[in-house]
Amino acid sequence: MLGTFCVLSAGVQRAWSSSSCLFMDPSSPGLVLQSQSTDVFQNLALEDWIDAHVDLQQRSILLLWRNRPTVVIGRHQNPWAECNLPAMRSAQVPVARRRSGGGTVYHDLGNLNLTFFASKKAYDRRRNLKVVTDALRRVRPQLDIQATDRLDILLNGRYKISGTASRLSRKSSYHHCTLLHSADRSAIAVLLRPSCPGIRSNATPSIPSPVTNLTDHAPSLQWEELLEAVVQQYSSEFGLTSSSQCVDPADEALFPGVGSMEAELRGWQWTFGKTPKFSVETQLELRDERPAARCSAQLQLEVKNGRVESCRVEVPATWLPERLSASLAQALLGERFCPHRAAAALSALLRCESGPLHSRLRNLCDVLVAAMG
Amino acid sequence: MAMRAALRCLSVNFSPRLPQLSSAAQVSATRLLCRSGAPRTLSTTSGQCTALKFTEKHEWVLVESGIGTVGISNYAQEALGDVVYCGLPEVGQKLEQLDECGALESVKAASELYSPLTGEVTAINTELAENPGLVNKSCYADGWLIKMTIERPEELDRLMDQPAYDKFIKSLEE
């Protein structure tokens, strides 16, 4: 499936031995690249690399890419609020934070990503989206395709098939958008919901929209056909010769330094540590088996830079002595807001406490860990 | 249009809440931002405060008692559109001049912030967490972004003063 992604159209694929050949070819003021990788971190790193290293004052670049199942959150979003991290862990779907703004999206191999690179002066999202809408109208004229004021692309006036985000840096810009060809919509419903209850945050929120795939309305539209149409439309809109080049975003020779960009994007510090400060306030339901009894407790946490900055666990003193709930709260301070880290921090506490309170303490620990997504 | 915008910004911004400027400095900073043709003077009030300096990235720096307050210019806030989130550096973070140190997210894009100087962040504007729109409404006063120490005063000298920045903007608009 990977191999078929590199569509070779009228142009001939040349072997690029260095990025200077690739990006400074005077015969092409524009370039269409297709990534060979389906790894979100490699692809995001390639975007960063192009933005940082290619002189976009004289040329434009279109990068086409797709990822294995991933959830991608915007620059200033809260991953715990935006997606179901426990479900994603089970399904081995990673979360990635991109550098552009905007909301959360689900990527899989049925979703095409397009990144339009240009100078800041030439930054024009509407013009870019016109490439997509014109391409779609050309290959399937019967489809009702419109770009909105928010720069979404809607099908039949109500279903979102594309969302947009962008980044402006020193001299350059990139605008990227998704395009739903044949993505797994049931995964979207399951994965794009909060990890845990009670999150209060001023992180940028997502705006949920009903989505649809192009193939739900034009079943005969092949992936290669879609790519070809977009490449041709880009070339005609920007006055270029129609051809595209396949690139390997992990190729350090072609893109020196891309490996460390990828490592940063993949790391906990960028993905979770960059989360705007937030608080969690939720009720915990506690249980004991022998004798059967129940009780409610209050949890209040502040999370800064992805770590527990403050924690209060209010358990009725009749259920557990205050000293125990207080030491539990204390044990979480400074730990990553993460169920595994919480479980490890609390297990030391549990080991110290035997006797009749142990089962209640254990239950409180389990419920606390579960509240951390 | 830019002048009207500057004057509008001026009347909103230079309320008594302008942080920590003596009234004399406030008057001369006022004169600097007012393009009505009044003579542009640098403040000389006991060396306490300097004139606004600008970077090519449209950030401004105002120095008082060795601490630089940093924000973005009216040109920048207009270009950005409505700011929905301010991603700022941490207090204590050490920055080199031109280091990426955060981003302002608006409906248009996430726009990278670059440190105008080398120094250490001493304060960040916590009002912006609840009210990011202050950057648009009051870019020279309540919408300030960070305060930082000035490790290399020569960097400050090389930034643009008001007249040079006005000229710079004009050249961009052509």
Domain ranges of chain B: 57-152
Please check whether residues A173 and A315 belong to one and the same domain.
no
DSSP secondary structure letter of residue B7: H
| Burial (CB count within 10 angstroms: exposed 0-12, middle 13-18, buried 19+), residue A80 | buried
Report cis status (omega within 30 of 0) of the bond before B19: no
Assign A82 a pLDDT band (cuts: 50, 70, 90). very high
Please state, in angstroms and rounded to a whole number, the distance separating the CA atoms of residues A317 and A367. Answer: 18
Nearest CB to A76; choose among B85, B90, B112: B85
Contact between A101 and B129 using a beta-carbon 8 Å cutoff: no
Nearest CB to A75; choose among B90, B110, B130: B110
Please answer whether residues B60 and B77 qualify as being in contact, where contact means their C-beta atoms are separated by less than 8 angstroms.
no
- A253 occurs within a structural domain: yes
DSSP A305-316: TTEEEEEEEE--
Number of independent structural domains in chain A: 2
Please check whether residues A289 and A346 belong to one and the same domain.
yes
Residue A289 is predicted with a pLDDT of 84
In angstroms, the separation between the Cα of residue B48 and the nearest Cα of chain A is 32
pLDDT digits (tens, 9 = 90+) for A10-42: 333 444 446 666 666 655 677 899 999 999 999
Element (H, E) at A96: strand A95-97
pLDDT digits (tens, 9 = 90+) for A265-274: 999 999 999 9
Q: Does domain B57-152 have CATH number 2.40.50.100?
A: yes
pLDDT digits (tens, 9 = 90+) for A47-59: 999 999 999 988 8
Element (H, E) at A250: none
Please check whether residues A259 and A287 belong to one and the same domain.
no
Q: What angle do CA A284, A287, A293 make, to 5 degrees?
A: 125
Identity of the amino acid at A184: D
**In this structure, what token pair is assigned to residue A143?**
């489809």
Please check whether residues A230 and A310 belong to one and the same domain.
no
Q: What angle do CA A170, A99, A15 make, to 5 degrees?
A: 80
pLDDT digits (tens, 9 = 90+) for B94-111: 999 999 999 999 999 999
- A13 occurs within a structural domain: no
Q: pTM score > 0.80 for this model?
A: yes
Please answer whether residues A287 and A293 qualify as being in contact, where contact means their C-beta atoms are separated by less than 8 angstroms.
yes
Look at residues A249, A272, A295 and tell me which one is the last residue of a structural domain.
A272
- A135 occurs within a structural domain: yes
Please check whether residues A66 and A109 belong to one and the same domain.
yes
SS (H, E, C) A316-351: CCCCCCHHHHHHHHHHHCCCECCHHHHHHHHHHHHH
Assign A179 a pLDDT band (cuts: 50, 70, 90). very high
- A8 occurs within a structural domain: no
CA atoms within 13 A on the CB side of A84: 11
Please check whether residues A109 and A159 belong to one and the same domain.
yes
Please check whether residues A286 and A328 belong to one and the same domain.
yes
Please answer whether residues B109 and B103 qualify as being in contact, where contact means their C-beta atoms are separated by less than 8 angstroms.
no
Please check whether residues A261 and A344 belong to one and the same domain.
no
Please check whether residues A36 and A171 belong to one and the same domain.
yes
Q: Which residues pair with A105 in a beta bridge?
A: A72
Residues spanned by the domain of A216: 21-272
Please state, in angstroms and rounded to a whole number, the distance separating the CA atoms of residues B46 and B153. Answer: 18
Which CATH number goes with the domain that contains A51? 3.30.930.10
Interface test with B, best of A98, A170, A172, A305 (most B CBs within 10 A): A170
- Other beta carbons within 10 angstroms of residue A369's beta carbon come to 20
Nearest CA in chain A to B101: A169
- A5 occurs within a structural domain: no
- A162 occurs within a structural domain: yes
Residue A80 is predicted with a pLDDT of 97
Contact between B110 and A76 using a beta-carbon 8 Å cutoff: yes
pLDDT digits (tens, 9 = 90+) for A326-363: 999 999 999 999 999 999 999 988 988 888 888 899 99
Please check whether residues A225 and A291 belong to one and the same domain.
no
- A252 occurs within a structural domain: yes
- A205 occurs within a structural domain: yes
Please check whether residues A104 and A188 belong to one and the same domain.
yes
Which CATH number goes with the domain that contains A342? 3.30.390.50
At what angle are helices A125-139 and A223-237 packed, to 10 degrees?
Answer: 130
Please check whether residues A303 and A164 belong to one and the same domain.
no
Nearest CA in chain B to A120: B111
Please state, in angstroms and rounded to a whole number, the distance separating the CA atoms of residues A5 and A37. Answer: 10
